Amino acid sequence: MRTILHLSDLHFGRTRPDLLDPLVTLAADLAPDLVAVSGDFTQRARRSQFVEAAKFLDRLRSPWLAVPGNHDISLDNVVVRLLDPWGRYRSLIHDDLSPRHEDEEVTVVGLNTVNRYAHQAGRIGRSQLRAIARSHEANPQKTLVVMMHHPPEHPVGSTKRLMSHSGKGVEALVQAGADIVLSGHLHNAHVAPLTAAPGVLLVQAGTGLSTRLRNEPNTLNLLTIEPGHVRIDRYAAFEKPVFEVIETAWFGRDLSDQNAGWEALSGMAPVSVA
């Protein structure tokens, strides 16, 4: 069994300051095997905002893995965005834009889906997915978790533009043997098998700290992963500065059938889309 605390869209520079300490405390109390942050550490990619984000990461007791989001490259400085988009992220967060964590049970890999030429819309790199597939072939029995900022599929009602080549990206995720995808970007929590690939479970986090809310509170996810089973506890903070579990979802899959998709287990409903 492995636990992953999934955070996203922290947006330092536009946060609720009263939630920072409670989030650090929750992460310490849960003591996950890994903290996974699916991008948008900052609001405007300012150095001061990256410094705040780095201080937050330094306070985490668990190992962490992160990928950048579209807000982690400059919006208003086009020269920096085109010539050195990752400079501040690399120097203050992590030099690796496609990081990897592996233990005896799970492999977690990050994909950089940020497109410097289109600030909002992302894109998925086929070369990255091919590399994941090759590396996963040696240990196919492990649960493969792929983390990216932009989701490969949007829930019904989303008004944001879907990332480029998302259909081909989903096909590549299946070919790579991905079991779970962690993403953010939309500031809405959502958990469901991908429509075009039910063997891949999409787990999307809302914003952990930002005041840029979209019809739901600040949220984060705790995944408990076992072979063929995933439990997702959704934590939320409302006006009171404390994160509490508000919903739990269980999903299962028949590992003896390679074509079997994830299904919500009886008695438990998937985390709802706000």
DSSP output for the chain: -EEEEEE----BTSB-GGGHHHHHHHHHHH--SEEEEES--BSS--HHHHHHHHHHHHH-SS-EEEE--GGGS-SS-HHHHHH-TTHHHHHHT-S-SS-EEE-SSEEEEEE--B-TTSSS-BB--HHHHHHHHHHHTT-TTSEEEEEESS-SS--TT--SPPPBTHHHHHHHHHHHT--EEEE-SSSS-EEEEETTEEEEEEEE---SSBS--SSS-EEEEEEEEETTEEEEEEEEE-SSS--EEEEEEEEE--TT-TTPPPEEPTT-PPPPP-
For the chain, how many structural domains are there in total?
Answer: 1
Full residue range of the structural domain in which residue 15 is found: 2-264
Q: Is the pTM of this model over 0.95?
A: no
Instruction: Tell me, yes or no, whether 271 lies in a domain.
Output: no
Task: Dump pLDDT digits (tens) for 180-217.
Answer: 999 999 999 999 999 999 999 999 999 999 999 988 99
CATH number at residue 15: 3.60.21.10
Asked, for residue 273, whether it belongs to a domain, the answer is no
Q: What number is the average pLDDT over the span 34-48?
A: 97
Asked if residue 109 belongs to a domain, the reply is yes
Asked whether residue 272 is assigned to any structural domain, the reply reads: no
pLDDT band at 266 (very low <50, low <70, confident <90, very high): low
In a domain? residue 227: yes
Would 270 be classed as within a structural domain? Answer: no
| Tens-place pLDDT, residues 80-94 | 777 889 999 999 999
